[in-house]
Structure 1
């Protein structure tokens, strides 16, 4: 379990840093491992040490993991004031649709291109997409790319102002629903029961859209790490990040079980 004062920046020395261009837009992507590809998207406020810990677990489970840098400072411990500023910038960025009525975030197009590239480089039956928090729903809209066959939606927080909403346009929602039904895909999802950013109403909206293809799993909030980094303690303010900041790395713990279920889901679809 993490304890206050133990949080340290991550130098990211065990991943390759690449600059990837899609449709004229260049982003940093951290890549490591071998085997089928998994695109792991960061949570707010960036590619934190906890996100990198998850990336290493995915890598060490036999996958090539691609971690795109979408906001924040790569490797930095999420601090409160710096994290608030990252959120403010993201909410007004043209790449994201943080509020209700905005539709699908445009960055999803770039991420689908990354999935195509990853599939071409790694082969296999397809690509996994793992979203976290601000990027949680991106794993679903990435399924509009045929290469994506294993979407994992972790504690999706958008739209921020509508706890029963989904960050997706009506047209994309219908297209995603039809693609998942046509190809027999499953969508794995996680949240804590007392998460104020990803409520039961949000999961109900996913279920209404996807039916039995949506496998939403809920953990007790009391099992969350009580000493997460400052951004999660002071800004998020509730159990939220099931397999990153609020994970308790102890055998048999509910959050570790969730991590193992995600890895098994990826293996079942991609290997």
Structure 2
């Protein structure tokens, strides 16, 4: 985690910073709160202040939030030059499968281990996971871990070169479909209409794979925050991040409503008898 904090960056002072080892691979995970575990993954170009705002909302809703550092500078405000550099490095990293034909990203094995470890520590009926943008589909792949029972896909963007692709190997796709049907899981997903990184074709492919278990919700692009950070304004170039960079934090706003729907979904799925949902 970087210690070079600028005026628009988030210092993460209200999180505990852990080094988590899964099968010999160690990554930093920022943890806060109490209650059942929810893994909130970063979006490109990293754990931004907007991602951390979402993580704090999850924490304040009664969960132990785990934010794994997968790329970028933790807490950094998303700038154009730094963000483009992170994207370039991630796209050639052996941990990710950013393009069509690559299959499932290897980093999801580590993420499933994190979910398993978080469940053992935090208890409860299971773990919630929220993927965003580059990590959006990872929330689905993590459901190969039995502890994961509440997957949320925020504008899943991989593979970058196939608008109708799912960034899944055939065996994993088959296993996910079987697990979700067998255990009666629901996969909640969000996108903006007209998003070129997460198209309607991608949602159609998820629905084809998962059937009625896929609850894909599309918001009008007209409601997106019109002044997101520079990386989203100049590089992403389209309404994209429903509950982070393009969220409008105003009562009654559709993007804030999407946040509330996600929190309600997590509360319903992760609540225990006698615990307020």
Instruction: Give the match for residue 88 of structure 2.
Output: 88
3-state SS of 2:265 partner: helix
Instruction: Give the match for residue 109 of structure 1.
Output: 109
Instruction: Give the match for residue 242 of structure 2.
Output: 242
> What is the TM-score with the length of structure 1 in the denominator?
0.97
3-state SS of 2:246 partner: coil
> What is the TM-score with the length of structure 2 in the denominator?
0.95
- Aligned-partner Cα distance in 1 for 2:221–2:15: 32
- Aligned-partner Cα distance in 2 for 1:129–1:56: 14
- Aligned-partner Cα distance in 2 for 1:91–1:67: 21
- Superposed, 1:97-176 pairs within 5 Å as 97-176=97-176
- Aligned-partner Cα distance in 2 for 1:81–1:237: 15
Instruction: Give the match for residue 177 of structure 2.
Output: 177
3-state SS of 2:241 partner: coil
- Aligned-partner Cα distance in 2 for 1:252–1:244: 16
3-state SS of 1:52 partner: helix
Instruction: Give the match for residue 221 of structure 1.
Output: 221
- Aligned-partner Cα distance in 2 for 1:70–1:8: 21
3-state SS of 2:140 partner: helix
In the TM superposition, what is the alpha-carbon distance from 1:8 to its structure 2 partner? 1.0
In the TM superposition, what is the alpha-carbon distance from 1:146 to its structure 2 partner? 0.1
3-state SS of 2:239 partner: coil
Q: Deviations over 1:75-134 (max 9, x none)?
A: 000001110010000000000000000000000000000000000000000000100000
3-state SS of 1:45 partner: coil
3-state SS of 2:235 partner: helix
- Aligned-partner Cα distance in 2 for 1:220–1:99: 27
Larger mean CA deviation between 144-153 and 7-16 belongs to 7-16
Q: Structure with the greater relative contact order (CA < 8 A, sep ≥ 6): 1 or 2?
A: 1
- Aligned-partner Cα distance in 1 for 2:194–2:255: 15
- Aligned-partner Cα distance in 2 for 1:202–1:125: 30
Instruction: Give the match for residue 4 of structure 1.
Output: none
Structural RMSD (CA): 0.6
- Aligned-partner Cα distance in 1 for 2:162–2:253: 31
- Aligned-partner Cα distance in 2 for 1:53–1:84: 22
In the TM superposition, what is the alpha-carbon distance from 1:183 to its structure 2 partner? 0.1
| Aligned structure 1 segments of 4 or more residues deviating by more than 2 angstroms | none
- Aligned-partner Cα distance in 2 for 1:104–1:113: 15
Instruction: Give the match for residue 3 of structure 1.
Output: none
3-state SS of 2:67 partner: strand
3-state SS of 2:78 partner: coil
Structure 1, gaps ≥5 residues long: 1-6
In the TM superposition, what is the alpha-carbon distance from 1:251 to its structure 2 partner? 0.3
- Aligned-partner Cα distance in 2 for 1:240–1:251: 20
- Aligned-partner Cα distance in 2 for 1:139–1:177: 14
- Superposed, 1:259-270 pairs within 5 Å as 259-270=259-270
In the TM superposition, what is the alpha-carbon distance from 1:194 to its structure 2 partner? 1.1
Q: Deviations over 1:38-63 (max 9, x none)?
A: 00000000000000000000000000
In the TM superposition, what is the alpha-carbon distance from 1:23 to its structure 2 partner? 1.3
- Aligned-partner Cα distance in 2 for 1:102–1:44: 19
Structure 2, gaps ≥5 residues long: 1-6, 272-277
